[in-house]
Each structure stands twice: as C-alpha cells, then as structure tokens.
A and B are shown apart, each in its own frame.
Chain A
Amino acid sequence: MGGKGGVGKTTCAAALAIAAARRGRRTLLVTIDPAPSLGDALCIRLGPTPRPVPATDGMLHAMELDARTALEGWLKERAGAIEALALQGTWLDRDDVRMLMGLSLPGLDEIAALLELSRLRQSARWNLIVVDAAPTGHTLRLLDLPRTFEGVARAFGCMQQRHRAVVEALTGGWRTDAGEALVRAMFEDATALRTWLTAGDQLRVTWVTLPEPMATAETLDALSLLRTAGLSVDRLVINRALPAGPRCDWCDTRRALETRTIGRLAAKVRALPGSIVMATVSARDREPLGVPTLAGLARELARGSPTPLARTCPSGVKGRSPALSGRPPAPDEWSELQLLLFGGKGGVGKTTCAAAAALDLAGRNPQRRVLLLSTDPAHSLGDVLGRSLDDDARRLPVRGQLRARELDARLSFERVRERYRQAIDSMFDRLRGRLAVEAAYDRQVMRELLALSPPGLDELAAILEVVEVFERPPGERPFDLLVVDTAPTGHALRLLEMPGVMQDWAKALMRLVLKYEPLAGPGDLGALLLRLSRGLGSMRTLLADPHRAGFVTVTRTGALPAAELRRLHARLQPLGIRESTVILNAVGRGSCSRCRRLSRTEMEDVSQLQQWTGRTGLRLVGAPAELPPPRGIGRLAAWRGSWQKLNAPSRRRRSGS
C-alpha cells in the first residue's frame, strides 16, 4: 500500500488486511513507515513482533517492522563471518574492525527491513502480507535497495577475493570458508529481493491518493516510476471523496474540485498500459479507527463509491470555524534565525506552510536573503509556488530577496562522492609511490563501499553542503536564512539524527587514517574527513542553538496527526532541537449540517491542542482552510496574512491569589 503522506495509506492497508483475514487469508499486516501510526489506526499497541489483532474473524496479525532491530538481528547472525572477512580481506586489524562494527550503519537498516519482510513472506504461518509503506519518495527508494545490497555484497566480495589470492599464493590451494558463503548468500538474497519486488505474481501495489490536484500529480509520477521499476500497480484508491450532501458553498466547491480532479486522473490512468482498477472511497466524519470501523471501510474499498455529481463550482471559498477568532498570531521570532525547519506528518501541508512563511519573512526583512529549500525526495514545492523549480536556487519575483530550490540530493552526493573517490585514489597512489605496493583489492573495496548510496546519506550530504554556508563570514554567504521544507516525520527525524551517527563514522575513519598515517600520510582523505566531522559538528551545534535554529511542526486536526505531533515533540527533545511553533493547518468548514458536525469535532481537537501547547509552552497558530488550496505566490502570501492565533487565552490571575 503506497502513496503520498497523509492520504490514508495506513487506514486503507488496515482495512484491506481485515477484509482479507475475514475472507480466510492468513494475513500479516506490517508497517514499515519509520513513524508508524498503524497501532493508532487499529487502536492496539503494536511492537516489532507479530501480534494477533483482536475482534477480527479469521487470522490477522499486525506488527511494526523496526528497521534498526531488523539490522541488529541480521548483523548478529553474521557478525563472526563479517569480522573475519574484514580482518582477512583488508588492512584493518581487530581493533579497527570492532570499532567500525560498533557503529550504526545508516541506511542499511532499510535493507535489513526489506530482508526481514522477505523472510516473513516465506513463513508458512501467513499467506498474505499487507505492507503499509512509507510515504512516496521513500517507497520509491525502497526499490533501489536490492541494488544497494548488491553493492555491499560486491565490497565484501572484493575482501574475499583478496583473502583468497593471499591464501592461494601462500598455500597453493583454497577451501571455501564462511566469508565466501556469506558473500554468496548476500548475492542470492539481493537477486531474490529483486525478483520478489518485480515479479507481478508475488507482489501487487495498491496506490492510495486523495482527490486533490497535488496528490494526483504525484500519483501519476509515482505510477510511471513504479512501472519503470517493474512493479505492478493493480489498484488505485481515491480516498476521502466528499459524499453527496445538502447544499453548502464549502462542500459544493470541494465536490466540484474533486470531480474535476478525479476525471482528469481517470483519463490519464486509462491511457496507461495495463489495467488499474480505480475505487473511490468517501470521506468519513471522523478518522476510521478500530477494527469494526475499518471493516466498513474495507467493504467500500472493494466496491468503490459512486462519485457524487458536482453542482456548479463557485470560484473559491474560505473555511469558517469558531476557533478562528481573528486574532493575529503572536509575532514569530524567525527573522533572526539562520535555519527554520518545517516538519510534520505527510500530507499536513508542510510545503504550503513553509512556502507561505518564507514569502512573508522575505517580504518583512528585505535586507535578509532567504533560501527556501525542499528536501523531500518527492518534491512539491514547485507545484505549491506554481513555478518550475530545480536544484539551482531560483530567484522568485517577490518583495525581498527570496530564492527557492528543490534539492537534488543524489546530485550533491555524487559531487561529494567524487571528492572522496579522488582522495582515496590519491591515498592508494601514495602507498604505491612510497611502499611500491599496488593494493588493488583494497582500492576496489574502498571504491565499492563508496559507490554505495545508503538511503538517507545522500540527503544528509546534500543538506550539509547547504548548511556549511553558515561557516563562512556573513558577507560571503549566498543567503542569511534557510527555510527547509523537510520530508515527512520519520525520514526528517532520521535526517536530524543522522549528523550524530555520521560524525561517529567520520571520527572512526579519522582514527584509522591517523593510525596508518606513517604509511600514506593523512592526505586529502584526512582533510575531507576532518572537514566532514567539523561540518557535522557545526550542524549539530546549529540545530541545537535556539537563537539560530527553529523547528515548526505543521499538523491537522484528527487523532493520527495529533498522536504523531506528540511523538515528534518527544523525539526532538534529545536532539536539542527547539520546537517553537505548531501550525494547525486547514482549520474551518462550511455551514451545512455535515460541516457543522465536523466543525464541532474540529473544535474538540483544537481545544486538546490548546491544552497541549499550553503545557509545552509552544505557540499555536491556525491556518484557515481554503478551497481550492492556496497555490502560487500571490495566494500564498494572502493566505499567510490570514494565519491566526489559536493559543487559549491565558487565564488572568485573580488579584491577591
């Protein structure tokens, strides 16, 4: 089950799994989202091992697949063979190998998660596994994992060949050993993963989207990418379409926009090769939580709902809500910052809020040069601004100095990688010059390791390159304030946690370079690692400095976003990242009976959020809902002007108390 963040993948996956279990399939429901909300949807506590889901007919288990645990398990089983391989196949000694194996391996955890999924698939206990995948950009990246895994296998293979060459030279013979078996098994696993992902009879993709232009644009991109990767998508769910109802400006506008969007999407999907079944599922007043409600959703998923016919479409409409009292939000303290991050669950409107805030900041501080940067691999910043963007910082025609850029992490990482490749080559060249040793296998091991692009590392490398600007004197920086639209929660958190992990790596590698320094000198590699470690250190200091960096969480009403908001807050604390503001996006509805009902539910959510932000001391800002959603510079700026204060009025102290 794939799709953009916030489209209802988790609820649809849960509904599909419940329906399958009721039909008699022995079903396992797994979430691989690093910020899972499956437990919230099922209303049960889940963990890293399968647990039975109560109150379902048939057999249904559910679990949260924790990538880190999966990696630990994978490594534990192979630690001996890997250590032996590294000892025999490289110039590292036991202390070096132990030091490196003690570090966490960024990105490899996702591969381990996929292998674990593959292992579960082979278990006779279940005959159907329903996977709630991570948001789009990262789901697509999942398809690259077999290739990454093959890269690791190739690096290990080089170590193995080197060891074998030495043994054969000394003893004249060779007997297969654990290292060779490990390398062979890894190649086999990589091939099996690729076959599994792309053989249509074993894996099917259901793609979930919303009847909104941005979501459907991303869906069409994803469908074509999935097809290119060889995955078969057989079902497209258009979730949360507004059902028929009484006359209402808000609902009528929404229906009209949805009808138009669904019509365009259907025409494009029909033009694609193969057959994709489209099912429209109607919006609920409340999020479908718990097994009985999800079972109802499953029935609709199977047969689809008729798309209600739209009445004439008014030009645009704003949401109304008693929560929107018209008070301007307390002034933000963003204009003095260097780094402002916008984060939150997928689909809450991070990009829209980040773009609107950046426009406002640039307008209010014409002397400050602002760069608006999108780091989500599934970029939507260009769509939101209504301009075509790329990896170059493009000047926007606005008051103040604002540029926007959609970060191409792969491209940045490629540049970084090239620098390291040259440094490693020059190190081996020096070895050859000084010791007359051509360490061909070692050179190849280093090249293979460098050729790996563990997921997430490219993003970190790219961001680091951007943030390094703050190391320069103010006059030499290309911008003064960086506004970042991050990837959805799980991956943004990993990005924020990764500088620490990577700095450990940089330091470990520096220790190795220093240890072998008498042979080859620290050289360019030492200089690069030193720069990397210092850069990561500065980035961590920057992130943890409340006077220079701020974090804004964007959320919406509803139980799932609220739960994720609290989890995100808890995870940011240990990183020292200061969350200053919560933006509650898309507040307000129309005036029909359904809208009033929804508005009451919304008020309950607002009130809970007010209490929570009151306790945590965060600024709560409400961003009114608009139909069609604000797109383009002009509308974004106007919309930013309508943001309001949502914090509960502070209680006045009684005199004398």
Chain B
Amino acid sequence: MIILDSLLIGGIRFVLDKIATAVDAELNDETALRDELLAAQMRLELGELTDGQFRVIEVDVLARLREVRDRRQGAGTASLSGDYRITGVDATVEGDEHS
C-alpha cells in the first residue's frame, strides 16, 4: 500500500529518483552492504539459502566492504578514486512488457 500510495502521489519520475539514490547508496554505503549481509543471514536462518550459498555471498560482501573502506581511505591521498556519484537515470521502454 505504501508503494501504491507513493506511486499515486509522486509519479514515476519520483520513483526513478529514488532508484538513483538507492543505487548511489549501494555503491558507496557500508550500511547497504551490511544490510545485504544481514539479509543473507536471515535467508540462511529461514532455510532459503544453504550454508554454501551463504558463504559465497558472505565472501563477496566482505570483499566489497573492504573495497569501500579502501576507497575511502585512499580518497584522502588520491583524488581520482573518490566516491562514485549517480546523478540521474536514463530509462527506455521497448517491446512487450510480458515478454
């Protein structure tokens, strides 16, 4: 219902902006990575992931977390490797939506 309400109120542009913010956050935010790991732990507890599948996700997320931290530490010394910033989204809709 929240999604429905916001769609009614804000329109599609609004949602795309939010997606942009979300992608931005995903690239840069440690919180997003920790959330991803937490979600994987929850799926493991629910039996939706096997131990093996969880390990793969865990290794991947931890590596990305390290990357984010390295980048942040590096940002102080090298100006090129600063945070990414998503400034907008281009969307094109083609073909049958059910295909």
Q: Residues of A at under 8 Å CB distance from B? A: 90-91, 166, 431, 434-437, 439, 442, 507, 510-511, 513-514, 517-519, 521-523, 526-527, 529-530, 533-534, 537
Give 7 A-B pairs besides A435-B18, A436-B6, A530-B45 with Cβ atoms closer than 8 angstroms.
A434-B21, A507-B45, A507-B46, A510-B46, A511-B46, A522-B38, A526-B35
The proximity string for B residues 57-87 relative to A, scoring 1 for CB distances below 8 Å and 0 otherwise, is 0000000000000000000000000000000
Q: Is the CB of B6 within 8 A of A530?
A: no
A residues less than 8 Å from B45 (CB atoms): 507, 510, 530, 533-534, 537
> With the chains together, A521 CA to B32 CA distance in Å?
8
Q: Given A435-B6, A517-B35, A521-B35, is A530 in contact with B18 using a C-beta cutoff of 8 Å?
A: no
Q: Which among B1, B10, B46 is the interface contact of A91 at CB below 8 angstroms?
A: B1
Q: Smallest CB-CB separation from B35: which chain A residue? A: A521
Candidate in A437, A507, A533 with the most chain B CB atoms within 10 angstroms: A437
Q: Is the interface of B mostly helix, strand, loop or mixed?
A: helix
Q: Is the CB of B22 within 8 A of A434?
A: yes
> With the chains together, A534 CA to B41 CA distance in Å?
11
Q: Smallest CB-CB separation from B10: which chain A residue? A: A436
Q: Is the CB of A527 within 8 A of B5?
A: no
Query: What is the total number of residues of chain B having a CB less than 8 Å from a CB of chain A?
Result: 21
A residues less than 8 Å from B3 (CB atoms): 91, 519
- Residue contacts A-B, CB under 8 angstroms, 19 given: A90-B1, A91-B1, A166-B1, A434-B21, A435-B2, A436-B6, A436-B10, A437-B6, A437-B9, A510-B45, A514-B42, A517-B35, A521-B31, A521-B32, A521-B35, A522-B38, A523-B35, A526-B38, A529-B42
Q: Is the CB of A439 within 8 A of B2?
A: yes
B residues less than 8 Å from A519 (CB atoms): 2-3
Judge if B39 is at the interface, Cβ distance under 8 Å.
yes
> With the chains together, A435 CA to B15 CA distance in Å?
8
Q: Smallest CB-CB separation from B32: which chain A residue? A: A521
> With the chains together, A90 CA to B3 CA distance in Å?
11
> With the chains together, A8 CA to B43 CA distance in Å?
51
Q: Which among A91, A442, A530 is the interface contact of B42 at CB below 8 angstroms?
A: A530
A residues less than 8 Å from B38 (CB atoms): 522, 526-527, 530
A162 to nearest B CB, angstroms?
A: 8
B residues less than 8 Å from A437 (CB atoms): 2, 5-6, 9
Q: Is the CB of A526 within 8 A of B18?
A: no
Q: Smallest CB-CB separation from B31: which chain A residue? A: A521
A627 to nearest B CB, angstroms?
A: 54
> With the chains together, A519 CA to B35 CA distance in Å?
12
> With the chains together, A92 CA to B21 CA distance in Å?
25
Q: Smallest CB-CB separation from B21: which chain A residue? A: A434
| 9 A-B pairs with least C-beta separation | A521-B35, A91-B1, A522-B38, A91-B2, A510-B42, A437-B6, A522-B39, A530-B42, A435-B6
The proximity string for B residues 1-34 relative to A, scoring 1 for CB distances below 8 Å and 0 otherwise, is 1110110011000100010011000000001100
A residues less than 8 Å from B42 (CB atoms): 510, 513-514, 522, 526, 529-530
Q: Which among A90, A514, A527 is the interface contact of B43 at CB below 8 angstroms?
A: A514
Q: Given A530-B45, A533-B45, is A442 in contact with B39 using a C-beta cutoff of 8 Å?
A: no
Q: Is the CB of B2 within 8 A of A431?
A: yes
> With the chains together, A527 CA to B22 CA distance in Å?
20
> With the chains together, A91 CA to B3 CA distance in Å?
8
Q: Which among A435, A436, A507, A526 is the interface contact of B39 at CB below 8 angstroms?
A: A526
B residues less than 8 Å from A523 (CB atoms): 35
B residues less than 8 Å from A529 (CB atoms): 42
A541 to nearest B CB, angstroms?
A: 14
B51 to nearest A CB, angstroms?
A: 15
B14 to nearest A CB, angstroms?
A: 8
> With the chains together, A21 CA to B41 CA distance in Å?
62
Q: Is the CB of B10 within 8 A of A166?
A: no
B16 to nearest A CB, angstroms?
A: 13
A507 to nearest B CB, angstroms?
A: 6
> With the chains together, A511 CA to B43 CA distance in Å?
8
> With the chains together, A397 CA to B32 CA distance in Å?
52
Q: Smallest CB-CB separation from A93: which chain B residue? A: B1
B47 to nearest A CB, angstroms?
A: 9
> With the chains together, A439 CA to B3 CA distance in Å?
11
A residues less than 8 Å from B35 (CB atoms): 517, 521-523, 526
A374 to nearest B CB, angstroms?
A: 32
B residues less than 8 Å from A530 (CB atoms): 38, 41-42, 45
Q: Smallest CB-CB separation from B39: which chain A residue? A: A522
> With the chains together, A537 CA to B14 CA distance in Å?
42
B residues less than 8 Å from A518 (CB atoms): 22
B residues less than 8 Å from A537 (CB atoms): 45
B87 to nearest A CB, angstroms?
A: 18
> With the chains together, A215 CA to B5 CA distance in Å?
59
A residues less than 8 Å from B2 (CB atoms): 91, 431, 435, 437, 439, 442, 519
> With the chains together, A434 CA to B22 CA distance in Å?
8
B residues less than 8 Å from A435 (CB atoms): 2, 6, 18
A residues less than 8 Å from B41 (CB atoms): 530
B residues less than 8 Å from A434 (CB atoms): 18, 21-22
> With the chains together, A50 CA to B55 CA distance in Å?
58
B residues less than 8 Å from A521 (CB atoms): 31-32, 35
A102 to nearest B CB, angstroms?
A: 16
Q: Smallest CB-CB separation from B5: which chain A residue? A: A437
A560 to nearest B CB, angstroms?
A: 43
